[in-house]
Chain A
Amino acid sequence: MTGRPMIKVLFFASLKEKLSLDALEFPLSESITVAQLIDELARREASISREVLSADDVLIAVDQTVVTSDFLVRPGSEVAFFPPVTGG
């Protein structure tokens, strides 16, 4: 399959519950910041709420490394949104 370049977007814990969504594939043909990605997701995916993803305590990881919202997401990346961690 040679479809359009996609990214994988994941949601964990309370965010997954708030959005009733654990993962989605989203088309992305050129790099954009995480903040721009949140806007795009909210605009094009009915289940995504901008408020939920841009809340102050939401953490973002791109390709399994924690980043800030000005980080550039490249086509093919894995982007995850999650609340502060509570393991141990």
Chain B
Amino acid sequence: MLKKVTVQTADFDVGKETALLTSISKEVGGINTFLGTVRDVNEGDRVTGLRLEHYPGMTEKQIGSIIDRAAVRWNVLGAVVIHRVGDLFPGDKIVFVGVASRHRGDAYQACEYVMDSLKTEATFWKKEIAEGEARWLTTRQTDVDALSKWQTD
């Protein structure tokens, strides 16, 4: 399984990352990608910027484990996760998740699972500059609820 996890300040090229997933092997039959970007409005306030912080080392390790868990549940031939940190502005790319599988069903589900898990587990913190004031964001209930659909008994 190809596994690429990067936390970086620099922008990234979605085409390049998708090409990497395509090149894994001729076995790949479906690639699902998710791209998260910075919105200019949050909870009714105009957002002018975000500052993202992470726990170097732990974050990368956590995302690696999330990918491994996905690979136990679905066919995953490769996964790429790129998350940006530092100062970001509306329209900027924040996060990329791409999963390559034999068939599309696995790629869809594994990609969504990785993203939902990253949201609630991975050690990133967002500080939002809205209406001229900086504030740390708090966990959204919708993100916690999104994860509950993946729970198995």
Residues of A near any B CB (own CB < 8 A): 10, 12-14, 61, 64, 80, 82-88
Contacts and interface: CB of A to CB of B under 8 A. Distances in A.
| Residue among A13, A61, A80, A86 facing the most chain B CB atoms (10 A cut-off) | A86
Contacts of A82: 55, 123, 125
B53 interface: yes
Interface residues of B, number: 27
Contacts of A85: 119-125, 139
Contacts, number: 64
A12 B53 contact: yes
Contacts of A13: 53, 125, 127, 136
A80 B61 CA distance: 15
25 contacts: A10-B55, A12-B123, A13-B125, A13-B136, A61-B58, A82-B123, A83-B125, A84-B138, A85-B119, A85-B124, A85-B125, A86-B126, A86-B136, A86-B139, A87-B54, A87-B83, A87-B118, A87-B124, A87-B125, A87-B126, A88-B95, A88-B115, A88-B118, A88-B122, A88-B124
A80 to B, nearest CB: 6
B94 interface: yes
A88 B94 contact: yes
Q: Is chain A's binding surface mostly helix, strand, loop or mixed?
A: loop
B149 to A, nearest CB: 16
Given A12-B123, A13-B127, A14-B125, A84 B139 contact: yes
B57 interface: yes
B129 interface: no
A14 B128 CA distance: 12
